[in-house]
Amino acid sequence: MTIVQLFKIAFFRIPDLKFVKKAEFSKVIVFLLSASVLIAVPMTINVLGVFRDVQADGQKIGESIPDFTIENGKLATAPGTQGFIYQTDSIIFTFDPDGNRTPADIASDVTGSVIAVALLKDQLVIRIPSSGLSTSMLDSNQLEFDYSEPALRNLNGQAIREALSNQAIPWLIKLIVFFVALYPSFVSLLITLVMGTFIATIYTRLKRFSYTFFENLKILIVSAALPTLISVIVQLLLPSFDATTFILFGSLFLFTQGVKQSPKIQFKT
């Protein structure tokens, strides 16, 4: 069975889904990977939307940043330069050349999904929203960098203003966001379909159809193609749409339609 034949079955010949059990698993995996790519698209668009919001806020902040340099690991400004806190819907930016604030103060500023960036007297502090993923990967969702570190020794106000004035999101960032979104999409879909396969196996046993767990998994993966496409389209219009639940129940429904004409196991009397 070719991939083209599987594609026709997935979208146009639902009653023939039962024949997917004969397909090579390597070809069925193509459907799983393709579905993962589709699911990653709305997530990528949403993340890039957040990036644009942060970028737009960053441009406003950039206009307020005065000239400064790093001298002897400390923030140095012209006499009379005052610190300030600039808050938007996505960022809390703190400029504190006088050393009035501490990293603990920055942590207390953050609520919800807001990002905090602070140029303190002797440290750059970045605090990202709390999440299980961020804390497991970084041990803490607050990053603190001394100005004495080589990467920050040449930090200055003009460089930050120029960086924040760039309105375009680099293609490399877009690709990184997409591939980062692809991994959880693949894992989530795989877990959903494996769970669905247990339900599908119970169904086939009750109906006395002679399908193994592995055969049911192959059928369910191909069955998920159409619900995945529909869920992605809906998510693009309605980001809060629960795609996982829709894919699970949509796939199971198509699965039942595809196998319902299968021959039943005959018990000897």
What are the tens digits of pLDDT across the range 117-164?
889 999 888 887 654 434 433 445 678 888 888 878 888 888 888 777
Nearest alpha carbon to residue 51 among 163, 135, 173 = 173
The Cα-based distances of 84 to 49, 114, 166, 174, 212 in angstroms read 27, 18, 23, 32, 66
What are the tens digits of pLDDT across the range 45-103?
877 877 777 777 777 787 888 888 988 888 888 888 888 998 887 788 899 988 898 88
Nearest alpha carbon to residue 120 among 73, 60, 54 = 73
For the chain, the domains span 3-45+172-259, 68-155
Burial of 137 (0-12, 13-18, 19+ CB in 10 A): exposed
- Against a cut of 0.75, is the pTM above it? no
Cite the DSSP H helix spans in 63-170: 103-109, 132-138, 157-165
What are the tens digits of pLDDT across the range 208-217?
888 899 999 9
Contact 28, 20 (CB under 8 A): yes
